[in-house]
Structure 1
Amino acid sequence: MSNPATINMAIADAYTTAEAIELVSRAGVKKGNMRLDKAFLSAVSAGCLLSFAAAASLSANTAPWFQANAPGLIRMISALIFPIGLVMIVLAGADLFTGTNLYTAVAVLHGRLSIWKMLVHWFICFWGNLAGSLFVTAIICGYGGIFDHSPYRDQAIATAIEKQVSPQFHQIFLRAVGCNWLVCLGCCLGMQGKELISKIAGIWWPTFASATLGLDHVVANMFFIPLGIWLQTPGLSVGMYIWKGIIPATLGNMVGGAVFCAGFYHWMFLSEEPENPR
């Protein structure tokens, strides 16, 4: 295998997996060393973009006949729309908490970034994503009245119940592990592409799989659950969301992204390479 630190620009179609993980490591160094104000604003942007995609996916899922007769089919159709969010975020260079679980973790494992800088970037991204998500939830969708009337209101409430009220703590945690495992894989595959269509395809399919399975993405849930609270979903409160939503989803996403994806690919392709500060 060639040294992944040497990127072969002559190959026209795509980078190898080893080369892509090297690029992920370099991206993690850049993200981890961003100015805090820029990191926060970038994260706010990512929260907004993912919320727009979540809203579009929720609208597509609003199909009462399909929900009653072909729930798997309408979930798949809705899931085909959801990856728009991650595509916009990656191509626009915005910072998503779940994505940085991959990028900065690989950079830390590669010896290029300190654990402290990684954790600071995670912290800034989390709160920036939350701010952006709440802005779209309250201002655009809430006061904008997008989900005020049936059947859209009914579907938004049903989604909040399905994602937050019904499942147990450990179920949300385990779903979140699987979710960010797939989402971060999408980031890796997107990094392999050398042109726009390849990047979009690489990002799309793992994210589609995650959404089809109904896995839990902490930032996407920053739209779905607060919208449910806004619409006065029975049995749903801010306290429940924090304890049984944010905490297990955040921890699960961190494990899925930093361990199952970053840890695995670093071990496979970068662990035997010398540390490189580039």
Structure 2
Amino acid sequence: MAYHTPQRIAELSIEAGKRKVSLPLPTLLTLGFLAGAFIALGFLLDIRVSGNVPGEWGSFAGFLGAAVFPLGLVLTIIAGGELLTGNMMAVTIARLAGQVSWGQLLRNWFWLTVSNFIGAVFIAFFFGHVLGLTSEGAFLQKTLAIVHAKLDESFFQSFVSGIGCNWLVGLAVWLSYAANDVAGKILAIWFPIMAFVALGFQHVVANMFVFPAAIFAGYAGWGDWLRNFIPVYLGNAVGGAVFVAVLYWLAYIRGVEREVAEE
């Protein structure tokens, strides 16, 4: 199974970031809606798989849910979608390389925040609430347990959890650029995404699904979502932009430029 070197992945990430900010707004919004919906579908599948698992199974129940959650990013990367958290890595490294402006970066992040939210809420309402996939029985209890656990974290804990999450999500996107074939991309995506879910880290777009699911069931409010949204968003931004984009830019782009300049 052929793959690209980290140096080449950095170059491909820059190219991807440049393409992403060049998308026409209607295309960006459409792909953003799809990515939000795909991540929500992955989370919904997680809840449906793990919601009825006996309590004595312990953490294995969490692993089962985490094992299917990567569907969301697989669909986003392979079928097509624009995900805020992935772009926090790709567009940032393109900015560091001087290929996009800060204005383009902020525009991209803003519209993806909006469109990812719409896609995630769409799934929460129509599939979670209308079909009852998250609003009844053990699956409602699972949904509420997830939301309550997130709300129990302090602002700083949610922020740090967001960093851990998007460090791994950014790496999943980064690794997907290493592969040229579908099987390689799926394998590259699966491990980091499974890991962040199993570890309980917080993903801002995934939370755009699970909080509304609880809200539509009548057990949470939009203020609860907003209180969680801010620290997780900031943490995800740091995780993807700093711990992936900046560090790999320093290692594989800036470092190489310095070596060339010194020759």
Q: Is the CA contact (8 Å cut-off) linking 2:159 and 2:235 kept in structure 1?
A: yes
Indicate yes or no: 2:81 matched with 1:94. Answer: yes
**2:128 aligned partner, one-letter code:** C
| Residue 13 of structure 1, aligned match among 2, 24, 44 | 2
**Could you list the runs of 5+ residues in structure 2 that have no partner in the other structure?**
258-263
When the two structures are superposed, what TM-score results if normalisation uses the length of structure 2?
0.95
Q: Deviations over 1:191-228 (max 9, x none)?
A: 10121111111111011110000100000011111111
CA distance in 1, matches of 2:193, 2:207: 15
Shift of residue 93, structure 1, vs aligned partner: 2.5
Map 1:255-266; keep pairs closer than 5 Å: 255-266=238-249
CA distance in 2, matches of 1:214, 1:92: 26
Residue aligned with 2:137, SS: coil
Q: Is the CA contact (8 Å cut-off) linking 1:64 and 1:151 kept in structure 2?
A: no
Indicate yes or no: 2:139 matched with 1:155. Answer: no
CA distance in 2, matches of 1:263, 1:217: 20
Per the alignment, residue 213 of structure 1 pairs with: 199
Residue aligned with 1:63, SS: coil
Q: Is the CA contact (8 Å cut-off) linking 2:95 and 2:105 kept in structure 1?
A: yes
Residue aligned with 2:30, SS: helix
Q: Is the CA contact (8 Å cut-off) linking 2:12 and 2:177 kept in structure 1?
A: yes
CA distance in 2, matches of 1:208, 1:153: 22
Residue aligned with 1:21, SS: helix
CA distance in 2, matches of 1:272, 1:262: 14
Per the alignment, residue 80 of structure 1 pairs with: 67
Per the alignment, residue 173 of structure 1 pairs with: 159
Detail structure 1 runs of 4+ shifted over 6 Å in the superposition: none
> Percent same amino acid among aligned pairs?
29
Q: Deviations over 1:174-206 (max 9, x none)?
A: 100000000000111111012111111111101
CA distance in 2, matches of 1:140, 1:171: 30
Per the alignment, residue 260 of structure 2 pairs with: none
Shift of residue 272, structure 1, vs aligned partner: 3.7
Indicate yes or no: 2:228 matched with 1:231. Answer: no
Indicate yes or no: 2:131 matched with 1:131. Answer: no
Q: Is the CA contact (8 Å cut-off) linking 2:135 and 2:213 kept in structure 1?
A: no
When the two structures are superposed, what TM-score results if normalisation uses the length of structure 1?
0.90
Residue aligned with 2:177, SS: helix
Q: Is the CA contact (8 Å cut-off) linking 2:165 and 2:239 kept in structure 1?
A: yes
Q: Is the CA contact (8 Å cut-off) linking 1:32 and 1:104 kept in structure 2?
A: yes
RMSD: 1.4
